[in-house]
Amino acid sequence: MKLLSVIVPCYNEEENVADFYHELLKTESFFKSKDVEIEIIYVNDGSKDNTVAEVKKLHEKDERVHLVNFSRNFGKEAAIYAGLKTSKGDFVVMLDADLQDPPALLPEMYRYIAEEGYDSVATRRVDRKGEPPIRSFFARRFYSLINKMSKTEIVDGARDYRLMTRQFVDAILSMEEYNRFSKGIFGWVGFNTKWLEFENIERKKGETKWSFWKLFIYALDGIIAFSTTPLAFASILGVLFCILAFIFIIFIFVRALIFGDPTSGWPSLVCIISLVSGVQLFCIGIVGQYLSKTYLEVKKRPIYLIKDEF
């Protein structure tokens, strides 16, 4: 008998916990026929609603249901890491609690791993139906930008819905960084990944935890975690400004020699000073971003804290 661990990060998902369970169990007969047992690990990421009570109810009826209960909200990335760490399965899959990742795809995903020898099967949505157009626009820009800046491939529309072998999971767990950007980490470890596509499914119940601002910060974190191009960009900007200043100096010098030096040009001076100081602050800001991430990394704080589990 092999074991499949199903990891479900939950933050205020009381309405979805049971629905998810029933939807997942529809694949049970398939896995039984393949001699695969299922365990479900709900990771409660500091929910303020009755998510824990809902999971307890399921656990009382079915001991294959487990809970990892965080001491507070640590974010989805931490929940994924905790789930992977707790899982014991030969195969591990992660899905959102809101049924936006259809469990019905699982048999097909499993076949790619068991029969075609892939190390992981990942999913991407091919459209962004039901999403505000402005968000889609920025998401597209983000993916094209980060793929230009980073050597690690980060797939547009990739979901965290992914089935993995134990070896793949162990590779992910060996990356113990504090600033976790899963979309990059999955690409970084390599191995053979099969991509499946599906059409976007809107959230059944409850609401999304991602505001535009949260997504923006997440995008910046992703760039900083998987690219040092902004640092190089700051240096290049510095060199460009030096060259520009040098040309300017020669121009002023020659002009003073030919026409003398009437004391004018105060407005242009103010413009130049404010422009240059703006660019300097911008570049210091970039360096600061990397420094702050390094600071958090160096502290070696735990990625999550568990209050209780069963």
Smallest distance from the beta carbon of 47 to Mg ion, in angstroms? 15
Q: How far is CA 283 from the centre of its chain?
A: 25
Do 181 and 226 contact (CB within 8 A), yes or no?
yes
CB 207 within 8 A of CB 12: no
- Stated length of the chain: 310
Single-letter amino acid code for the residue at 192? N
CB 223 within 8 A of CB 145: yes
- Minimum Å gap between C-beta 303 and ligand UDP is 13
User: Which one of the spans 96-104, 133-141, 187-195, 278-286 is the region binding ligand UDP (CB under 6 A)?
Assistant: 96-104
Query: Per rule CB under 6 A, is residue 55 in the interface with ligand UDP?
Result: no
Strand partners, 157: none
Contacts with ligand UDP by CB under 6 A: the residue count is: 17
Which one of 76, 162, 180, 194 is in contact with ligand UDP (CB under 6 A)? 76
Q: Kindly identify the residues of this chain, within the stretch 52-111, that bind Mg ion according to CB under 5 A.
A: 96, 98, 100
Query: What burial class does residue 250 get, using C-beta atoms within 10 Å of its C-beta: 0-12 exposed, 13-18 middle, 19+ buried?
Result: exposed
| 45 belongs to the binding site for ligand UDP (CB under 6 A) | yes
Residue 168 burial (10 A CB sphere; 0-12, 13-18, 19+): buried
With b for 16 or more beta-carbon neighbours within 10 A and e for fewer, the 101-127 pattern comes to bebebbeebbebbeeeebbbbbbebee
The CA distance from 6 to 90, in Å, is 11
The site map against ligand UDP for 125-164 (x = CB under 6 A) is ----------------------------------------
Helix-helix angle 266-299:212-226, to 10 degrees: 80
Taking the complex as a whole, how short is the minimal distance between the CB of residue 253 and ligand UDP, in angstroms?
58
The contact pattern for ligand UDP, residues 192-231, with x = CB under 6 A and - = no contact, is -----------x----xxx---------------------
> Binding string, 268-307, against ligand UDP, x = CB under 6 A?
----------------------------------------
Q: Which of 4, 5, 6, 9 binds ligand UDP (CB under 6 A)?
A: 9
The option from ligand UDP, Mg ion, none interacting with 59 (CB < 5 to 8 A, set by class) reads none
97 near ligand UDP, judged by CB under 6 A: yes
- Choose the contact partner of 14 out of ligand UDP, Mg ion, none; CB within 5 to 8 A by kind: none
Determine the angle formed by the axes of helices 51-61 and 17-25, rounding to 10 degrees: 40
d(CA 2, CA 190) in angstroms, rounded, equals 24
CB-nearer residue toward ligand UDP: 210 or 248: 210
**Closer to Mg ion by Cβ: residue 48 or 61:** 48
Phi first, then psi: give them for residue 88, nearest 5 degrees: -115, 0
Interactions with Mg ion, residue window 185-224 (CB under 5 A)? 203
Q: In this structure, are residues 94 and 161 in contact, taking their beta carbons and an 8 Å threshold?
A: yes
Q: Which residues bind ligand UDP (CB under 6 A)?
A: 9-11, 13, 45, 73, 75-76, 79, 96-98, 100, 203, 208-210
Q: Which residues bind Mg ion (CB under 5 A)?
A: 96, 98, 100, 203
